Each structure stands twice: as structure tokens, then as C-alpha cells.
Structure 1
Amino acid sequence: MVVRRGRSSSGLRSLPLSRKLSYFDGEFEKLYRSRLLPASASDRSRVLEALLRCGPPASRIRAAAAGGGRGTRVAFAAGVLLLLGCLLLCSRRGSSFLSYCGRALLIQLLPYWDWTLYSNSDCLIRNPYYFEKGLDSLQLTDCISVCQKHPTVESLHKVDPKVVLQNYLRQNLPLKITDGAEKWVAQREFTVPFLTQLYSDHPALQDTKVCSYWDSHHSLENSPGAFLEKVHRKRLVRWAIQWKNCNKTAAKVIRAFYQRPYFLPPVVELAESNWLLMASREENGVMEDTFVKVRDHDGDLLMWIAQLQGTFEVQLLPKDICASKCTHYTLQLSPGETVAVPLQMWEVQYRPFSSVAIGLAATGNWLQDPR
């Protein structure tokens, strides 16, 4: 009431104390003249006492103090939990424990929410600009443009990854890179005795099964270590073996001996698995017509083969609609050389061109955008 009849509250706060007292004296005098205040001084004091002592009730003050104490305790508890969480994440046992708890919780949620649909999906949100170009999109004109313009596989040295993607891979054109595996440890160490010992001694390679296993002697063990032991012990003259390290642990052991090929652009995502290709023939003997195909590509768009020891003769066969218009490519791979093959149009097969030949292969994929 006082504020509405007089100055505004903001203007009153800016006055000095003496002016404020004079202002309120004048207001009280107006109320007294209007007979809104009792005539007796004691009665006026009793009426104004409640206004002079106006403030937050004691119960509110106690509640606010108690709330502040609870807030402090909650903040302290949150800090302690955060510190413990950081310690658990930093330690290997702690992170394993948290991972176990998370998996157990997800298993308990399965009856109420099938989260596996999201876990198994490649993308949670569909990209409207993504254009998936599969094998069905290959046209006869694509085959003719590749085969007529490029009668042989080109060889490049110190090639730019962008050139590889735009001018070769996306054009379904294979490419030979002469320095693709020059500095790899695998080129120096991968021999028959070394691989025999590696697959006999390494626990990760002993305890895991390989995929797409094949050998020329149709062994029953389906084990690279067992076959290489036979080769090393019996000294077979002619033999061939290939297998795919599809187990993550086993594939990681082999990946420790090589790096990602430098000529592959970042857009190419390599598969976790890898192949080992090994074959032998008689020294100075007649070349056999038998080629070995590299299969089980998992629908990937690219395969690369790196020559580690000896020499492979590689044939690239046109697939599907291109088989009637294209002939096969034939090339030889020497140690340190690599061939990149677009699998949308070509199949890969090989045979030894030297007494012993060892190669390493892997696949990759990338997003096919419209051209």
C-alpha cells in the first residue's frame, strides 16, 4: 500500500537512510489523518509490529537450511560416485566389471524390449543421400568400357589413394601397385618354417578355428598348423593351401605383421578377417593348369592380395554379365607388389609361379555414391 501511493520501490531503494525515514514518517502521518491507524501510540505500535517484523517464517528458514544440507550431502555423494566410476573405468578389472553389469542388464531387458534390432543394424538413422549400388546395377556398357579401354592391368608406384578410388575402384578397374607391401614385416618373416612355428606355438592361433579352409591334399584336420607340419616334415613337392582368419583374435595376430595398404583411401573400410595363400610346385617343373579361387568375400566390393614370398600368377575372371564381353586379366605378383581388385566385376584365382609362393589377402568396402 505504501509503495503504490508513493515512490516506486526501485526509486525508494536508491535514497539515503535519512530520506527513507522522512518518507515513511510522511506516509504514516497520511494514514493517521485518514484514520486508518489507531489514535493511541501503543495501539499503533501493536498494529505495525507485524509489518515491521515481516519476513520468512521460521519453519521456512529451517526447511531451507535443511534443504541446503541435503543438497550439500547429495553433491558430496555424487562426487564420490563419480570418483569411484573414474577409478573403475581406468582399471582393467573395473571396466570388465562395468561391462559385465551392462550386459547382464541388457539380458534382463530382453523380455521387455528387443534391443537386438538396434544392435544388429548398421545404421540407426537412414541417410537419404546414401545410394547402395549392388551387383544388379552392373550394366553391359560398364563391362565394355573397362575391357576395351584397358586391355591389361596397369602398374603404378607411389599412387595417390584418391586416384585409386576414383579412377580404378569405382570404375571396376583392377590395379597393380608395385610398392604396396614393401615395408611390411610379413614380407621379411612369412616363410613356411616361420608360419609352421607360429601356428604351432601361438595360443590364439592354436585355440581358434579358421574359415574357408582348403588344401590340395584334402586333409581331415582342417588346420593350417597340422598341414604345415606335414609340409615341413614330409617336404611335399606340390601342394597348396589357403584359409581365412575370421576369428578376431587370430586375425589380429596376423595383422600385427602388416599395415593398412597406403594406397587405400580412408573411405574404404577393411574387413577384420584376412587370408593366407600358400602354394608350391616343382622347381623348373611344368606349370599346372590348376588355379585356386579365393572365395567367401562376404559381399565386399574390394579385395587386395599382397605378395610376400615367391611369385603368384593371378587371373582375374569377369563375372556375370561381363563374362560374354570381357576376357580375363593375367598378371604376376613379385614380393612387395599388391593387386587391388573390384569384386563387383571380377573373380580372383591364382597359382604358384615359383617353387614356394606366399600371399596375404583381405577385403574391404565403401559407400557407393551415384556417379
Structure 2
Amino acid sequence: MSKSIDKKVQSIIKQCESLSIDDIEKLSNYKKLQTIISRKSQGKFDIYLVLAIIFGLLSLITTGISQLGTEHFLHYAYDKIFSIDIYREECLAPKLEFLVDAFRPPTSCGICRNVDHIERISNISREEFEEKYAYTNHPVIITDAMKDWLATEKFNFKFFKRLYRTNSSALRAVEEHCQFFPYKNKHEFETLGDVFDMDLERAYMIDDDYQPWYVGWSNCDYSTAYLLRQYYSRPYFLPEQSESSKLDWIFMGTPGLGAHMHIDNVDLPSWQAQIRGRKQWTLRPVPECLFSCKEFNFIVEPGEIIILNTNVWYHKTFVISEDEISITIGSEFD
């Protein structure tokens, strides 16, 4: 059997040897062979290109480490690529929002279908709020929930500057254990302490050419939380069995800035009370609902509370007050 195959192969070789180059190119399978060869060549080229990039990066890293030392090189690289200060952060793994979004569980489009504005309501009972809004993921604004809050009179930049004064336990807790969001001011405000080192002229927009600023932080210090809650009470509309988080979220800043479009990963819905200033919100449905739902804008006025599940709605904010900083405080509820 093998001998007969060898004879056939030898016969084919002799026939090919008798053909000219022009004749070979006219063969029906010649172009297929060319395509296969070119693909293999391209594949080899791609592999070589990837290897060249990898070796180039390794060379840059090796050179950087040799010139700066490992510690200084890591500090420089994290600062330039991720805007992370390795001397301040406990976790050096950057939080990449696109990865959080990619692995986010799918959302039912029923929460946003036919929703193109936000309702404003008042004098709502706990039972009605629980049935219609608390756990349905439908955003709503309550207009009468801050009538007896001292926060509307006392909360201002100076109040928080005193509370988070240098070397205070409140400031240490934020800088060591809580979260701080400098947003677009990240290159000048590395910590909350940097914010309250700001001169009052800029903080209160006294100069016409002041630089806008906007920050947010969580308060995870129980003693500070106890003090803050002397100035505001649990919103009256929350269900009786609902428990508010012990964590406060505070957002503060001047007109012209706000939080970028994002979605949260905090598990629970939340309420945010607009203590001072006016803030424009933009809500956008999750990608799987873009063909079923609409993006829409609205303004939260001083004295109003917005209830929103920020885990299922993309959202961004923008301070639009004319001559007053915006101060918002909020918490999650289950």
C-alpha cells in the first residue's frame, strides 16, 4: 500500500517539475495555497509584534527600576497611570470602573420603562413609600422631609472645616479608613485635609476668578456620625422596619462641577438630602435597557431629598447654584 502511494507522489512531483511557473499559477488550488501561506505569515508577524511589545515594556520597567529604584518606580507608575499614591492607599489594585460595569448583574428594564421624569411628592406615608418607591428602583423626590433639620441652618464649609480640623479623630478616620472622592480636583486634593486647607475666599467663591471644586467622602467614624445626626433625623418616610446605614455620605462643592457619569456598587438604595445649593442630576438607563428606556435630567432644590438606587441607574450630578456651594448628605437603607 505504501509503495503505491509513494509512486503516486513521485508521479505528481514529476508532473509539477514539467510545468512552468505560469502554469502552476493557473492551478485551481494555487490561490488557496497563497491565502493559507499569507495567513500563516501574518500570524507569525502578529506573534512577533506582541513579543516585541512585551519585551519593550519589560525593558522600560527594568530601566525604570534600575534608575529610580523599585519603590520610586512603583510610586511614579501608579501616580501616572492610575493616579494612586502608594504611600497613602492601603490597596494598590486600582478600581477599574469598566470592569465593575462588565461584571454587573443584569437589570430588569421594568424599572425605567416609560420613566422620563422624576416625581415630586410630599406628605407620603411609610406604607405608601414602601409600596411604590422604597424597593422598586423608581427614583423619587420628597419635598417636605427636612422641615425640622438643624442641618439646613448649620451645615456650611466652616462647620465641616471645624469638624474635620487638622489632627482630629474625624479627619484621621476619613483619611485612614473611609473613602474620599476628589473627582476633577484629584491633582490638588489628595486628602480631605487638603480640601479644608483651602482658603475661604475660594471655598465661598468670593473672588470672581475662583477655581471650581467638588468633592465627596464617606464618614465611617461612629463618634462623628453621632455628632452629625444631631443635626438631621431619620427621614420620616422610610419604612418602619428599614435600617439606615451607619455610614454617612457627604458631597460638597461649587457651581460648575459635580460627579461624572457612573454606577455604584453599594448593594442598597440610598437617599440624599440637598442641604444647600441646587444640583442637576442626569439619570441614564443601564446599557441593556438603552432601547427601552430614556435618559433624563432634573434639578434637586434645597430642602428636597432624592431617593435613588444608584446600583441600577447610571447617574451624574452638576452643581448649578448661582452664588452658593452645594452640600448634600445621605445614607443607604435596607
Instruction: Compute the TM-score of the two structures, normalised by the length of structure 1.
Output: 0.53
Residue equivalent to 1:245: 219
One-letter identity of the residue aligned with 2:230: A
Q: What is the rounded CA distance, in whole Å, between the counterparts of 2:214 and 2:129 in structure 1? A: 31
Q: Secondary structure in 1 aligned to 2:274? A: strand
Q: Which residue of 2 aligns with 1:185?
A: 150
Alpha-carbon distance, 1:361 to partner: 1.7
Structure 1 contact 208–250 (Cα < 8 Å) conserved: no
SS of residue matched to 1:152: coil
1:277 corresponding residue in structure 2: 251
Contact 1:306 1:360 in 2 (8 A): yes
- Other-structure match for 1:157: 122
CA distance in 1, matches of 2:127, 2:151: 26
Given that residues 263 and 310 in structure 2 are in contact (C-alpha distance below 8 angstroms), is that contact kept between their aligned partners in structure 1?
A: no
Residue 205 of structure 1: CA displacement?
1.1
Match of 1:260 in 2: 234
Structure 1 residue 227 corresponds to structure 2 residue 201: no
Choose from 129, 134, 137 the match for 1:169. 134
Q: Does the aligned pair in 1 maintain the 2:281–2:300 contact within 8 Å?
A: yes
Aligned-pair distance for 1:200? 1.1
2: CA distance, partners of 1:263 / 1:188: 22
The whole-number CA distance in structure 1 between the counterparts of 2:163 and 2:123 is: 32
Give the letter aligned to residue 192 of structure 2.
P
Distance 1:264 1:270 in 2: 9
In structure 1, the residue matched to 2:206 is none
What is aligned with 1:352?
319
Aligned AA (1:277): F
Amino acid at match of 1:363: E
Q: 1:227 to 1:219 in 2, by over 3 A?
A: farther
After superposition, the Cα gap between the structure-2 partners of 1:297 and 1:271, relative to the gap in structure 1 and judged at 3 Å, is farther
Judging changes above 3 Å, is the alpha-carbon distance between structure 1 residues 234 and 279 closer, same or farther for their aligned structure 2 residues? closer
- The correspondence of residues 40-189 of structure 1 with structure 2, limited to 5 A, is 136=105, 138-140=107-109, 142-143=110-111, 146-148=112-114, 150-189=115-154
Whole-angstrom CA distance in 2 between matches of 1:159 and 1:314: 23
Question: How far off is 1:330 after superposition?
Answer: 1.7
Any conservation in 2 of the 1:309–1:357 contact (CA below 8 Å)?
yes
**In the alignment, does 2:272 pair up with 1:298?**
no
Per-residue displacement from partner, 1:220-273 (whole Å, max 9, x unpaired)?
664324312214265544111111112333333322221111111123221111
CA deviation vs aligned residue, 1:194-239 (integer Å, no higher than 9, x gap): 2212211793313312533122321566432431221426554411
1:171-204 CA-partner distances (Å, limit 9, x unpaired): 3211110112222111111111222122117933
Structure 2 portions without partners, runs of 5+? 1-103, 204-209
Judged with a 3 Å threshold, the aligned counterparts in structure 2 of structure 1 residues 361 and 193 are, in CA distance, closer, same or farther, namely same
Q: Which residue of 318, 338, 343 maps to 2:285? A: 318
- State whether residues 271 and 331 of structure 2, in contact with CA within 8 Å, keep that contact through their aligned partners in structure 1: yes
Percent pairwise identity: 21
- Alpha-carbon distance change, 278 to 231 in structure 1, aligned in 2, over 3 angstroms: farther
1:220–1:188 CA distance, 2 compared to 1 (3 A): same
Query: Which letter maps to 2:194?
Result: A
Displacement of 1:320: 4.6
Equivalent-residue separation in structure 2 for 1:250 and 1:335 (angstroms): 24
Equivalent residue number for residue 123 of structure 1: none
Query: Quick check: 1:340 aligned with 2:317?
Result: no
Distance in 1, Cα, partners of 2:125 & 2:284: 26
Any residues of structure 2 matched to 1:208-223 within 5 Å, and which?
208-210=173-175, 211-215=178-182, 216-219=184-187, 222-223=190-191
TM-score, L = length of structure 2: 0.59
Provide structure 1 residue ranges, at least 5 long, that are not aligned to the other structure. Answer: 1-134, 282-286, 366-371
Paired residue type of 2:198: K
Q: 1:270 to 1:202 in 2, by over 3 A?
A: farther
CA distance in 1 between counterparts of 2:262 and 2:151 reads 20
Deviation at 1:347, TM superposition (A): 3.1
List per-residue Cα deviations over 1:6-36 (Å, max 9, x = no partner).
Answer: xxxxxxxxxxxxxxxxxxxxxxxxxxxxxxx
Preserved contact between residue 266 and residue 311 of structure 2 (Cα < 8 Å):
no
Partners in 2 of 1:296 and 1:137 — Cα distance?
14
1:206 and 2:171 aligned? yes
Number of positions where the alignment pairs a residue of Structure 1 with one of Structure 2:
220
